[in-house]
Structure 1
Amino acid sequence: MNTDLSFELRQVQTRRRFLGQLGTGLGGVALQALLAREAAAAGTWSPPDGLPMHAPKAKRVIWLFMRGGVSHMESFDPKPMLNRYAGKSIDETPFKEVLDPEKQKNVRVVVVNDANGQQRNVIYPLQTGYKRYGQCGVEISDWFPHIGSCADEIAFVRSMWTTDNNHGAQVQFASGRHMLEPRVPTLGAWVNYGLGSMTDDLPSFVNMGPRYFDTRDGHYLGPAFDAVNLKVDPKNPLSFAKPEAGTGHSEQAAQFEMIHRLNRLTAEQYPGDRILLARMKSYDLAYRMQTAVPETLDLDTESEETKRMYGLDQKETEPFARQLLVARRLAERGVRFIQLQHGDGAAGAWDSHSGLQKNHSRLAGEVDKPISGLLKDLKQRGMLEETLVVFATEFGRTPGSQGSDGRDHHPFAFSIWMAGGGIKGGTIHGASDELGFHATEHPHYVTDVHATILHLLGLNPHRLEVPGRKRLERDFGKVIREIIV
């Protein structure tokens, strides 16, 4: 065989194998960051220029999502009236109007049978105590004392509502649309679309923790805007992130250099081919990520004091503490949207249809200290004022009991909070009624949270448009200005 031809064939085969590895491995992740630019170059659509549309107050988001439905009454909106009327049916209290069909609409009101076999809407008492925290005097349950110690950094929104009373509400909180409606991009995808990346070595949008419903984010924006799933394991942070067995660092470097030379030759033949240039950059990013991702997840360089502040020294807090410390390191290195999901299982571990006291106290114990550690660490490093931290869940839980010791799903009132970049700390905004049944003061649909986050990042959701895609007015949300500095 002709020697030159043999060499060319080997080059092509190596290039094909290399591209195949890129498509399924770390290079595929790198390509996500550049596919959007390719689409723009091909003329399919034009994404924003990556610049804020107005002066931003935050650069990045750390999104903490508690899967399953945290009880607002046993977290950040305690209701002492539940203790006063415990065991009574709701219609035996002064608050029976909460059962007005026009108010509850599709909500599933939980009932139990009394001694005579009659169904009653029985009020379930608070399963923990509460006290006031900070100069703002916000009431927080005894299960979250560490977050309570940060109360004056936080804006609490006690008047959230949504329309899905099952766990598809996790999709709804992230996207603003009911799970039965056509899928649309999530908030993280819109942030990625609107602002792009701040780093050349890491993905712009990262997810840590379980996702059981809709694992995509970009939808009609395309896979370029999906989150990259990261495992908090320095030895194996991403699937296919390591070179093939037997491939050493020098050999892999030679492979990258060979492909780069071949691409440069092609680029000289087609100097206007922006798609080729984007792919060349993606290979460089893939190579850099093989070093950057494990280094980010390696916590050995962190001080013992910092590790203790997050709770890495305690068995119950260590898993989530590790994720949050990695989140801070990702934020330092320019990752734009860092999404953490807590609560395993299809529905999410916070789903407490029975045994709420045991369930919520355990789960709160897993996240309370790590979250306060994150807030304190960001503040002492001067990062909190540019980092927006969000604590959310898909819905609340019923004031009435389910069975003997649980609460059912409740979409008509629940709580979230935000801290950091542009947020007015020590703020208590909105309210639910005295039983925690309905959002009554300044009610906010979930996309109001999205609008607020986008606004703080310098984006206007009405200007984040894709040709041929019509968005509902509710999709845009309204900025919660009362919690902004």
Structure 2
Amino acid sequence: MRCHGNPLSRRGFLAAGTLGTIGLSLPELLMRQAAAEQKQYDFVEAKAKSVIHIFLPGGLAQQESFDPKPYSPIEYRGELKTIKTNTGEVFCETVPQLAKRADKFSVIRSMSHGEAAHERGTHNMFTGYKPSPALQYPCFGSVVSHEYGPRNNLPPYVCIPNVPNEFAGTGYLPSSYGAFALGSDPNRSDFKVRDLNLAGGVDEQRFSRRKHALEVVNSHFTSVTQADNIEAMNTFYQRAYDLLDTPAAREAFDIEKEDAKMRDRYGRNEAGQRMLMARRLVEAGTRLVTLTYGGWDMHNDITGGMRRLTPALDVALGALLDDLSERGMLDETLVMVSSEFGRTPKINKDAGRDHWPKVFSVMLAGGGIKGGMIYGASDSTASEPEENAVSPADLATTMYRLLGIVADKELMAPGDRPIEIVDGGNLIEPLLA
């Protein structure tokens, strides 16, 4: 069952016109819609408190990860072998740690869209929308920030290490709902999150005086203009002050506080330390963390490329799932592993695979997702969906539902244009625990 958002959405007005012809007054109509809306909202119970979105830029090959084709000809299946999971399914040999934990997550093998360019495919997978020349859509993190705001004085939307692409931004929403980016990689020996410490020579009293002076200046500018950049700057400064004023929040960003054995467990590399940082942030209160790892655009030597990049990802993801589970956080933290598209069914002349959006795989764990499930299927050569094709809008709708957000709720774009958070997505009900 899909849940509908604003009772005065475009659909609501269409209903108003229809019901008006049988004699209902506007107050009666609104009362009926409010009652119906309340019933629908009763189904939108948040299962997930936070999301860790692990994005693999470039286009992860489905054949060399979660959807191998061992019985297809060599030019389709590639050189890598398969491995049995603890649920009896088959993955590529590149992910042995995940294969041991397949009961903790589900894989969609039938993701599909029509955008073969990196930028357009990335837009789809960060917003749930096809790109449009007329409007910029907000990414998942900005929508979550808009709907829920900060928790425990942590930024609601954080990117590790930086905002990964132009589509990870606020779109038509005010820029105050943008991401807080670490600005440095947690794996670096000199890692330090920018702007989280008081400047040299500034003590707490001086900090308070500066804060008060800034509030006076800001109130003047706000009274003069309502420009988005002024309002956004006010919001960012206020959140920054809240963060600086909260030692527990600041500490969440200090990966040196983490036990050395835990850091080793995740892996002392980009994949491991970024995922560990993500866990620290959602544990402390951040609502959505986006992190990237690697470059998966393997037009050449895909066998070598996967053998080089995948081990760190495999170990770190396995550690993240175990760590969340051991802390009692997996049931309330949605882990989503995605890429902008997959790779071509056939190996090319350079022993690589090219862009292929017709079918690819996404991994989901925790936060109300069943474990040990394969949803959908590709055909025998991983060329297209064979059953239960899933669109980016379907994936986004499901993610938002797990967070308790009504996916077709209307937000306001410039010009007071009502735009649904997701347009036309279907809930992937079999995946829900």
Q: TM-score range by the shorter chain?
A: 0.7 to 0.9
The higher radius of gyration belongs to 1
Q: 1:365 Cα deviation (Å)?
A: 1.5
CA contact (8 A) 1:461 1:476 kept: no
- Aligned-residue offset at 1:476: 4.1
Q: Does 2:388 align with 1:442?
A: yes
Query: Following superposition of structure 1 onto structure 2, how do residues 61-460 of structure 1 map, counting pairs within 5 Å?
Result: 61-82=51-72, 85-86=73-74, 123-134=75-86, 136-168=87-119, 169-179=121-131, 181=133, 182-200=135-153, 202-209=154-161, 213-214=165-166, 216-230=168-182, 231-233=184-186, 236-238=192-194, 240-244=195-199, 246-250=200-204, 252-256=206-210, 258-259=212-213, 283=237, 285-290=239-244, 295-312=251-268, 318-343=269-294, 349-460=295-406
CA–CA separation in structure 1 for the residues paired with 2:132 and 2:215: 49
Q: Deviations over 1:440-482 (max 9, x none)?
A: 2000111111100111111111124326335479734111111
The CA deviation at 1:305 is 3.2
For residues 165 and 237 of structure 2, the distance between their equivalents in structure 1, rounded to whole angstroms, comes to: 31
* Conserved 8 A contact 2:112-2:360: yes
2:44 pairs with one of 54, 79, 82: 54
CA deviation after TM superposition for structure 1 residue 180, in Å: 5.4
Question: Aligned equivalents of 1:203 and 1:52: distance in 2?
Answer: 28
Instruction: Please give the alpha-carbon distance, in whole angstroms, between the structure 2 residues aligned to 1:354 and 1:235.
Output: 33
Write the distance in 1 (CA, Å) between the matches of 2:77 and 2:89. Answer: 20
User: Where does the alignment leave 5 or more consecutive residues of structure 1 unmatched?
Assistant: 1-50, 87-122, 313-317, 344-348
Amino acid across the alignment from 2:96: P
Structure 1: distance between partners of 2:42 and 2:252: 27
Count the aligned residue pairs: 377
Q: Helix, strand or coil: the match of 2:382?
A: coil
Which runs of no fewer than 5 residues in structure 2 stay unpaired?
1-40
* Deviation digits for residues 146-187 of structure 1 (CA, Å, limit 9, x no counterpart): 111210011111000011101011122111334454321112
| Structure 1 counterpart of 2:431 | 483
Compared CA separation, residues 277 and 418, structure 1 to 2 (3 A): closer
Deviation at 1:258, TM superposition (A): 4.4
SS at match of 1:461: coil
Counterparts of 2:193 and 2:48, CA distance in 1: 27
Asked if structure 1 preserves the Cα contact closer than 8 Å seen for 2:397 and 2:425, the reply is: yes
Please give the alpha-carbon distance, in whole angstroms, between the structure 2 residues aligned to 1:281 and 1:404.
50
- Provide closer, same or farther for how the CA distance between residues 296 and 149 of structure 1 changes in structure 2, counting only shifts above 3 A: same
For 2:205 and 2:136, the matched residues in 1 are separated by 43
Q: Identify if the C-alpha distance between structure 1 residues 462 and 280 changes in structure 2 by more than 3 Å, giving closer, same or farther.
A: closer
Counterpart of 1:23 in structure 2 is none
1:116-136 residue CA offsets vs partner (Å, 9 max, x unmatched):
xxxxxxx343231112212x3
TM-score normalised according to structure 2 size: 0.79
Take 1:174 and 1:360, find their aligned partners in 2: how far apart are those partners? 24
AA matched with 2:432: I
Q: Secondary structure at the match of 2:126?
A: helix
Question: 291-300 or 378-387: which moved more?
Answer: 291-300
Distance 1:434 1:65 in 2: 26
- SS at structure 1 position matched to 2:363: strand
Deviation string, structure 1 residues 5-34 (Cα, Å, up to 9, x no partner)? xxxxxxxxxxxxxxxxxxxxxxxxxxxxxx
Distance 1:220 1:376 in 2: 38
User: 1:256 Cα shift?
Assistant: 3.4
Sequence identity (%): 29
Amino acid at match of 2:179: A
TM-score between the two structures when normalised by the length of structure 1: 0.71
The question of whether the paired residues in 2 share the 8 Å contact of 1:65 and 1:342 is answered with yes
Q: 2:7 matched to which residue of 1?
A: none
Aligned-pair Cα RMSD in Å: 3.1
**Residues 256 and 283, structure 1, Cα contact 8 Å, conserved in 2:** no
For 1:26, the equivalent position in structure 2 comes to: none
- Please say which of residues 155-164 and 178-187 is displaced more in the overlay: 178-187
Please tell me whether the aligned partners of residues 270 and 293 of structure 2 are also in contact (alpha carbons under 8 angstroms): no
Residues 143 and 59 from structure 1, CA distance in 2 versus in 1: closer, same or farther, beyond 3 angstroms?
Answer: same
Render the CA deviation track for 1:206-240: whole Å, top value 9, x for unaligned.
011455641552111111222121134575313x5
How far apart are residue 285 of structure 1 and its match? 3.6
Q: 1:277 to 1:409 in 2, by over 3 A?
A: closer
Contact 1:210 / 1:342 at 8 angstroms: preserved in 2?
no
Task: Give the match for residue 35 of structure 2.
Answer: none
User: 2 CA distance for matches of 1:139 and 1:340?
Assistant: 27
Q: Could you report, residue by residue, the CA deviation over 1:386-413 in whole angstroms, capped at 9, with x for unpaired residues?
A: 0000011111111112223111111111
